[in-house]
Every structure is written in C-alpha cells, then in structure tokens.
Amino acid sequence: MRNIGYARVSTVEQSLDLQLAALKAVGCHEVLSDEGFSGADFNRPGLTRLLRSLQRGDTLTVWRLDRLGRSLFELLKLIRDLNERGIEFRSLSESLDTSTPAGRLMLHVLASMAEFERSLISERTRAGMAAARARGSRIGRRPAMTPEQRQEARVALAEGSVSVETIAAKHGIHPRTLLRVLKTDVAGQDAAA
C-alpha cells in the first residue's frame, strides 16, 4: 500500500515546490511530476509512468484536481478507472478521498455534473448547427468535387479515356476518394429512383 503523489505545472517557469511540499506532508512515498505540460493533454511522461506503476491498494494523491487534468469528464473517467483497479484517489485541496463514503459521494456528484455539462454542450452544438442550416450554411467539410467535376469524371471513366488515378490527380484528391464520391452518387441515384 503506497501513497504516490503527482504534481504538474504548465510551464517550466512555474515551480512545483508548493505541490511537492503538500504531497510530502501527507506522506507520499514517491512523487512523480510533469513540468511544462498542459492539463488538457493526458499523454504526459510522468503521468504515464505513474499510472503504469500504480497497483491495487495504492493511493494516488494530487494537490488539486486541475493538476491531474482540466477536463472534468476525462478526470472522472481516470478516477473511475483507478477505482476499478483497486486504487484510491485523493485530492488535497478539494478534500476528495475515494476511500471514504463522503469522497465517493462527492465523486458521484462530480460525475453527474460532468454528464450534465456534456449534455448542455451537445444540446448547444445541435442548436447551433440547426441555426446555421436554417441560415443556409453548409455543415461539415466541403465536398471533394463539384457536381460538374463528378459528371466529367463519370463520362471520362465511362469512355475509358483516362484512369482513375489521372482524374483524381487532376482534382487534387486521392483515387479512393474519387471512387467513394462516384459510388455515393450512384447510391444516391438508386435511392431516388
């Protein structure tokens, strides 16, 4: 049963001293850290090493939740994964400790808030896209080829005068993209008939 700490600062100009002192004060046997890494990126060398080294019965301790990550949804996913592996989690500033009933309750409340936040974002995104469509805006990437270019490609391929590769190169697309576009056109015509 080890108590292992994790500390992070976003820039190398910032200091880990406050976090390290707090983690040592609560009995962390070892502290892994990342300097100059954003909390939005969970692919950090120190965090990766830490997560690999944790074993059932260990406790991961952080000074503040945002030192582990910025996204509440991703944070909660990580904490759930730890708990499923039999690893407890503790955040000193938020007094969150998953080894206690109160800490587990707090985790569930945070999970509900994260789910609510994701629902709101999704709802706002759908509403924004609907409003953009109503204004006549196109949603998504622009088509690989105009209708005229597609017709020209179909005729050239039917005549056998040029290869798929030549037509694709002329329009600056990959040959598979050309074939997909033309196949989609045919499928659309079949559905309309």
Instruction: List residues with catalytic annotation.
Output: 10
- Distance, in Å, from the CA atom of 116 to the CA atom of 137, rounded to the nearest integer, reads 29
The first and second tokens of residue 190, run together, are: 């079949």
Q: Write out the DSSP string of 16-53.
A: -HHHHHHHHHTT-SEEEEEES--TT----HHHHHHHHH
Which of 38, 85, 15, 93 minimizes the C-alpha distance to 61?
A: 93
CA dihedral 96, 98, 102, 106 (to 10 degrees): 60
CB 91 within 8 A of CB 64: yes
CB 144 within 8 A of CB 183: no
Neighbouring C-beta atoms of residue 15, cutoff 10 Å: 10
